[in-house]
Every structure is written in C-alpha cells, then in structure tokens.
Amino acid sequence: MSTASPYILYGVPHSLYTGKARCYLRNQGIEYVERPTSHPDFASRIVPLIGRGIIPVLETPDGEVIQDTIDIIDHFEQRGVQYPAYPEGPLQRAVAVIIEYYGGQAMLKQSMHYRWSYREQQEAFLHHAFASGSGADFADKVMGRMQSYLPRLGVTEQSIAHIERSYETLLDLLEDHFQHWPYLLGGRPCIADYGLIASMFAHLGRDPVPAQIMKTRAPRVYRWVERMTAPGLDVTEYAGCAAELVAGDRIPPSLEPVLRHIAADIFPELTDKLVFIDAWVDRVQPADGDPVTDKPQQRQLGLVKTHYHDAPVEVGVEPYLLYVLQRAVAPGLETGQVQQVVAKLGDYGLGKAVPLGGDYRVGRQNNIEVWQR
Ligand SMILES: N[C@@H](CCC(=O)N[C@@H](CS)C(=O)NCC(=O)O)C(=O)O
C-alpha cells in the first residue's frame, strides 16, 4: 500500500462529467480517492477556489485544484500515462475529439431527456442519487433546476422523437462496432471513449429507463460501459487484441457509420452556434483573458434558433464548445496536413466540426473559460 496522499476526486456517482474523469483515472490505474460534494471540504475550501459550484474537481497531492474534465485529463497526459488519451495520428485525433464533443456536449440532449422526461418512472432512483449528495430538501431544488434546462438543450415536444431515434440508432451502430473492437479506435481507450462515456455512463447507462434500453438492445455497448468504468483494460472477450489504437491513423470501418450518425445529429446546430459565437465576438470585442461570460456559473452567451433533424429548437450557446473542438487539430500540424484531415472528415460529413480561422480562441485561466485573442 502506498502511503503518499493520493489524488482526490470530488464528484458524485450520477454526474456525467465526474464519470468521464473517473473512467480515465481507473483505466490508467491512477490511485485516487473520491469524495462526494457533501464532504465539508468541498463547500469550505474547493468551491471558493474554483469560483463556482461545479464537479468534477481534482485535487493533486501537491494541493493543486483542477476543474474541468479536459484539464484533469491533460494534467495526467502531460506527466505521461500508460495509455495516452490523444491519438498520435492527426485524423484519429480529430475524430476522437469530435466524438468527445458529441458524448460530452451534443449528447446532453439524449442524456438529459432520458433522465428528466421520464422523471416519474425514475423518481426513486434519481431522488436517492441527488439526496445522497445534498439532502432531501436540496435534492428537490437541484432536480427541478436540472429538469428546467431541457428546452435550452433542445429537448422539446417536437424534438423528443428524434432524440430517442438518435439514441437507438447510436446503440445499433456501436453494437456492431464492438463486435470488432473493445474501444472506439481499437484496443485501448482514447479521448473518444472518455468523451462518449460521459453521457453513456452516468445517465444513459445507469438511469433505469435508458439503461434498460441499452441492455436489451445493445448488450455489447453496455459491456463497453462496464469496461470503461472498470480498473485497467477490461477486455476479456477480445483475446489477441493488442492494447493499441488501429495502426496507420486509420478509422475502423465499423466506426464510419457512427461518424456519419454524429454528423447528422450535430448539424446544422453546431454551425449555427459557431456563427453565433463569431457574431458575438465581433460585436462585443472581448479582450484577451476576459472571462467568456459575466458570471462564472453562467455558461451561455445567448440562445440561437436552429434545427435538430427537422424539429425547430432554440438552444443555449456555450463558448466551452470551442474549448473542446479547437483541440481536434493536433498542435503543430501544418496547413497542408490540416486541410487533409478536414477533407477526410468531409467523407463523414464532419468537415465543419473543426473550427478553423477566426482571431480568437477559448482558453482557461483559474478554472474559468476565457477568450484568447
Ligand atoms: N466542462 C465541465 C462541465 C462540468 C459540469 O457541467 N458538471 C456538472 C455535473 S455533471 C455540474 O457540476 N453542474 C452544476 C450545475 O449545473 O449547477 C467539465 O468537463 O468538467
């Protein structure tokens, strides 16, 4: 047993983003302890440091406090890990980051819909989860707030049928993929798996209604969820599969339909959001280092009218999406290589998922998203 103080992960079992960080820690074999948000240190010490009530938060043995799943993962990537999360091949990297965006941002439609539109059927399960963190009275308040987010995520009467069809299609396509590979890009997890697991564990793989659909419709997908939450690589049924990504920067053929499905799901909404952010920056002209919103707990710049499949929706625009997607282009790639990657993404309808150009980026300072000019 090691005596050094381990990493501390503040989070809760039913939190989408805590799941992403937890899977990473477990898959990499990093020693950590998890503390719930009800731990006295969270309110007294961590929240004041982070500047907003948000999870997960990682505290390192040196006392550094890090919020955001990307920054948590990058903290370990920079120090070297057993299974590096970012593919070295530029196409695989771009695909992986786009899948990360899909699982962690775009799929909030699916995950929040199944969690809150079926609240009645899941009340005991959800109430238990939310009360464990914050007590019964507070649980009702938090649950009401979470449920109130649905319209701004694009979950409406008109879009719900599309959201459910999308979840079922994704399950069918992934079920086929996992016949061939234990992870999205081959024999070990990468940032694509950590992004997709965000929605696929805490909400869709765990809440009673969507988990039942997953288990009955797509057993191999459920096994991947189990695999992602297990320590190390849990790949017993893939004997002979090396713990490597597919060689030669290739995309596994069984993943290609998944990528086309993602394209059909994220456009035109993503483009409309990017245009909205461009226009906002043009109008407001934020300075380098300015926080992206006035208040740290506020995530959205405004609402944009767009479509989810053929349903009209009006959705909140989070600059954070740029923080995620800007990473699709590997650092140091030359223009020609970037163009090649974008052209190949175009084969899947994903060419416009990589935000290029513009005289600004979204970075992070002191655990808050800021504009970079
Ligand atoms: N970009 C953040 C998102 C974290 C996040 O949204 N966490 C949720 C729980 S899963 C939260 O703390 N929400 C608090 C709230 O909305 O009030 C990350 O990747 O860590």
Walking along the chain (373 residues) 10 residues at a time, the average pLDDT comes out as: 78 97 98 94 96 96 97 98 98 98 98 98 96 83 95 98 98 98 98 98 98 98 98 95 97 98 98 98 97 94 97 98 97 95 98 91 96 96
In this predicted structure, what is the pLDDT of residue 161?
A: 98
In a 13 Å sphere around the CA of 161, the CA atoms on its Cβ side amount to: 6
Among 265, 37, 33, CA closest to 165: 265
Same domain, 172 and 29: no
198 within ligand 1 shell (Cβ under 6 A): no
- Residue 299 forms part of a structural domain: yes
Host domain of residue 243? 90-261
54 lines ligand 1 (CB under 6 A): yes
* Ligand 1 pocket check for 21: Cβ under 6 Å: no
Q: Return d(Cα 373, Cα 361) in angstroms, integer.
A: 7
pLDDT at 4: 67
Ligand 1 atom at shortest distance from the alpha carbon of 67: 20
Is 284 domain-assigned?
A: yes
Tell me the three state secondary structure of residue 207.
coil
The predicted structure's pLDDT at residue 137: 83
Report yes or no: 112 and 146 within 8 Å, Cβ to Cβ. Answer: yes
| Total count of domains within the chain | 3
pTM confidence score: 0.97
pLDDT of amino acid 267: 98
Report whether 31 contacts 6 (CB < 8 A): yes
Q: Is residue 16 in contact with ligand 1, taking CB distance under 6 Å?
A: yes
Same domain, yes or no: 287 and 166: no
Question: Is 274 found in the same domain as 257?
Answer: no
Of 245, 261, 277, the last residue of a domain is 261
Nearest to 119 by CA among 159, 158, 146, 156: 146
The neighbouring-strand residues paired with 312 are: 307
Q: Residue 69 sits in a domain of what CATH number?
A: 3.40.30.10
Same domain flag for 15 and 71: yes
pLDDT at residue number 306: 98
Please report the pLDDT score of residue 3 as a whole number.
Answer: 54
Residues paired with residue 7 on neighbouring β-strands, in sequence order: 32
Nearest one of 295, 271, 261 to 168, comparing CA atoms = 261
Last residue of a domain, one of 210, 237, 261: 261
Instruction: For residue 291, give both structure tokens.
Output: 């926080």
Same domain flag for 256 and 280: no
Q: In terms of domains, do 320 and 180 share one?
A: no
Instruction: Tell me if residue 332 falls in helix, strand or coil.
Output: coil
Is the CB of 17 within 6 Å of ligand 1?
Answer: yes
Is residue 2 one of the residues assigned to a domain? no
Domain stops at, among 21, 51, 79: 79
pLDDT at res. 2: 52
Q: Which residue has the tokens 């199944």?
A: 114
Peptide bond into 231 cis (omega under 30): no
Give the number of the atom of ligand 1 that is nearest the alpha carbon of residue 17.
Answer: 10
Whether residue 85 contacts residue 181, with contact meaning beta carbons closer than 8 Å, is answered with no
How far apart are the two ends of the chain, measured CA to CA in Å? 47
| Residues 303 and 317: beta-carbon distance below 8 Å | yes
CATH value at residue 202: 1.20.1050.10
In a domain, 1, yes or no: no
144 found inside a domain = yes
Contact 176, 14 (CB under 8 A): no
The answer as to whether 332 is a domain residue is yes
Q: Are residues 111 and 208 in the same domain?
A: yes
Residue 164 lies in a domain: yes
The verdict on residue 85 lying in a domain is no
Pocket lining: 15 vs ligand 1, CB cutoff 6 Å: yes
Mark whether 314 and 332 lie in a shared domain.
yes
| 63/112 same-domain check | no
Tell me the CA–centroid distance for residue 94 and ligand 1, in Å.
24
- Residues 215 and 155 both lie in one domain: yes
Domain match, 345 and 204 both? no
Residue 46 CB less than 6 A away from ligand 1:
no
273-282 burial, b if ≥16 CB within 10 A, otherwise e? bbebbeebbe
Q: Are residues 276 and 322 in the same domain?
A: yes
Q: Using CA positions, which residue lies closest to atom 7 of ligand 1?
A: 55
